[in-house]
């Protein structure tokens, strides 16, 4: 048994393609075993989203259908179908029973126990996420001038408040910190992608330096909300494009490179204790990742966890042991 697998536990949910079909899989970090969860239900952009008690995984799959996997029974439920242009962000409530997402110009709150949903009218909204209290939501909307802004709103649809005064351009990859005090996003687009954080109590915005190519993707909060991991695209004449796995403080301080990946960009995910980061590499000429790697933040020795035909998004369970 390897050193890392002794130290780290939990499961990494990931999207992989086998036999020409995408599915959601589980990888056991401690013993290296794998388990297929779905049968031809996922697509290339499917991202597994864990409930906080690790009993359920939600994802958007084929035909833009929102699915929930109940891990204790293996049952899979289709709960809704979102529009082709709707945001793909899903987020579980702190009590693990209500899934938030946006579609049809509404914020939808779907209770997976009662199978009932409530909606909040929010035109052009996206990236809805729960505050730790379970009484408020963060989301992205458009102000009266057409600029994208971050807002917070009570779950009953009242007390909508604007947080940012953004004029830079579109806000992408919006993510609320685990403690609900900060949010992050990238802007303005794909060719130039800059990471920003915002203090939700003051509205102050902090710039993350990022890579020299200004192509910074997949920013992800550490469990204690003090650090952000992200993928920064880099270039060298002898190797072409690759990316650097970087970590940085929430106000932009102490940025450093932990590892490199052969892919143009890679999703990153934190271990439950915040000591390690998993990421993808092994990209072919088609830029598809074929390897899953792990690196400890304080012990910079990358370790290959798994190889597959093609691996997409990945997400580590939020606790050490599945609920």
Domain boundaries, the chain: 3-316
- Could you give the CA distance from residue 4 to residue 34 in angstroms, rounded to a whole number? 17
pLDDT digit of tens for each residue in the chain (323 aa)? 344 444 678 899 999 998 889 999 999 998 999 999 999 999 999 999 999 999 999 999 999 999 999 999 999 999 999 998 899 999 999 999 999 999 999 999 999 999 999 999 999 999 999 999 999 999 999 999 999 999 999 999 999 999 999 998 899 999 999 999 999 999 999 899 999 999 999 999 999 999 999 999 999 999 999 999 999 999 999 989 999 999 999 999 999 999 999 999 999 999 999 999 999 999 977 679 999 999 999 989 999 999 999 999 999 998 755 54
The answer to whether the beta carbons of residues 10 and 317 sit under 8 Å apart is yes
**Residue 323: its pLDDT value, please?**
47
- Could you give the CA distance from residue 320 to residue 289 in angstroms, rounded to a whole number? 26
Instruction: Specify the CATH class of 3-316 in words.
Output: mainly beta
Q: Which backbone phi and psi does 144 adopt, to 5 degrees?
A: -70, -15
- HSE (side-chain half, CA atoms, 13 Å) at 268: 34
Q: Which backbone phi and psi does 62 adopt, to 5 degrees?
A: -55, 140
- Could you give the CA distance from residue 250 to residue 201 in angstroms, rounded to a whole number? 14
- Entry pTM: 0.95
- Could you give the CA distance from residue 100 to residue 116 in angstroms, rounded to a whole number? 12
Sheet holding 91-92, edge to edge: 91-92, 98-103, 106-111, 116-121
**Residue 8: its pLDDT value, please?**
75
Work out whether the CA dihedral 103, 107, 111, 112 comes out positive or negative: positive
């Amino acid at each position: 048994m390897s050193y890392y697998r002794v130290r780290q536990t939990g499961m990494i949910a990931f999207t992989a393609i086998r036999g020409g079909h995408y599915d959601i899989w589980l990888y056991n970090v401690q013993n290296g075993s794998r388990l297929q969860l779905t049968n031809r239900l996922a697509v290339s952009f499917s991202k597994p989203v864990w409930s906080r008690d690790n009993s359920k995984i939600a994802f958007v799959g084929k035909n833009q259908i929102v699915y929930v996997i109940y891990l204790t029974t293996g049952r899979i439920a289709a709960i809704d179908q979102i529009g082709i242009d709707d945001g793909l962000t899903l987020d579980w409530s702190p009590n693990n029973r209500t899934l938030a997402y946006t579609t049809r110009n509404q914020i939808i709150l779907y209770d997976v126990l009662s199978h009932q949903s409530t909606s909040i009218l929010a035109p052009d909204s996206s990236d809805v996420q729960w505050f730790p209290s379970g009484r408020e939501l963060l989301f992205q909307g458009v102000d009266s001038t057409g600029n994208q802004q971050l807002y917070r709103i009570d779950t009953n649809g009242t007390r909508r408040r604007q947080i940012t005064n953004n004029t830079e351009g579109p806000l992408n990859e919006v993510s609320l910190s685990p403690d609900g005090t900060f949010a992050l996003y990238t802007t303005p687009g794909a060719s130039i992608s800059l990471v920003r954080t915002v203090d939700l109590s003051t509205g102050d915005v902090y710039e993350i330096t990022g890579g020299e190519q200004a192509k910074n993707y997949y920013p992800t909060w550490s469990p204690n909300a003090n650090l952000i991991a992200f993928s920064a695209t880099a270039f060298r004449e002898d190797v072409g494009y690759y990316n650097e796995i970087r970590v940085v403080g929430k106000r932009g301080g102490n940025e450093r490179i932990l590892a490199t990946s052969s892919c143009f960009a890679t999703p990153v995910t934190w271990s439950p204790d915040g000591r390690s980061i998993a990421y993808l590499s092994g990209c072919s000429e088609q830029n598809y990742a074929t390897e899953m790697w792990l690196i400890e933040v304080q012990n910079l020795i990358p370790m290959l966890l798994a190889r597959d035909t093609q691996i997409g998004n990945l997400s580590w369970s939020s606790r050490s042991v599945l609920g």
